[in-house]
Amino acid sequence: MTTILGLSGSLRRASFNSGLLRAARDLAPAGVTITIGDISDVPLYNGDEEAAHGTPPAVARLKDQLAGADGLLLATPEYNNGIPGVFKNAIDWMSRGEGLALFAGKPVAVMGASPGGFGTTQAQTHWWPVLRTLRTRPWWDGRLMVSRAGGLFDADGTLTDDKTRGQLADFIAGFAASLPAGKDRP
């Protein structure tokens, strides 16, 4: 069994990116499980708080999920042509202390959906220096940038467009096929 930890960088209930991640989970090929992590309870990083109280429970859960995953799937919104602060904050917390070793060598794929015409091109590009610093193993063979997402998702944030669902299924299958499973993890 191959396990992928999926994280959405949006906190909005009907988020396109959370919907994209749920669709990825539902479209994952046989033998692949996508576990969706939750960044909504991750506090803003503060070194003083970390020193006084240690790792917050929400961050500890994410670290545990990352440790048990064969790969990491980021569903990134694009805010002002870049990475959403809340998403970067969650990754920053996860990489603290022993967390950095959890990222080293971890295969990572990045996808995203946006109401704009260029998808999440800039946000995805901005993730690469972060992922390089964390010593991850980015999956370069595919990118999924969903443009004009407002017409592809329903009011609850569910991906309803068959063409996009097909592209997403291919993207997930490609990423999953590139992963070392179980005991073969780096």
Question: What's the pLDDT tens digit per position in 78-125?
Answer: 999 999 999 999 999 999 999 999 999 999 999 999 999 988 999 999
The average confidence (pLDDT) of the chain is 95
Residue type for position 162 = D
Distance CA 140, CA 127 (A): 13
pTM, rounded to two decimals: 0.95
Note whether 17 and 112 are within 8 A (CB).
yes
Q: What pLDDT, on a 0 to 100 scale, did the predictor assign at position 183?
A: 41
Domain boundaries, the chain: 2-181
- Reference 131, options 92, 97, 170, 77; nearest CA is 92
Please provide the CATH number assigned to the domain covering 2-181: 3.40.50.360
The DSSP symbol for 106 reads: -
Note whether 23 and 17 are within 8 A (CB).
no
Q: What pLDDT, on a 0 to 100 scale, did the predictor assign at position 92?
A: 97
Give the three-state DSSP class for 136. Answer: coil
Note whether 35 and 3 are within 8 A (CB).
yes
Residues 178, 160, 31, CA angle at the centre, nearest 5°?
30
Question: What's the pLDDT tens digit per position in 23-67?
Answer: 999 999 999 999 999 999 999 999 999 999 999 999 999 999 999
How far does the chain reach from its first CA to its final CA, in angstroms? 16
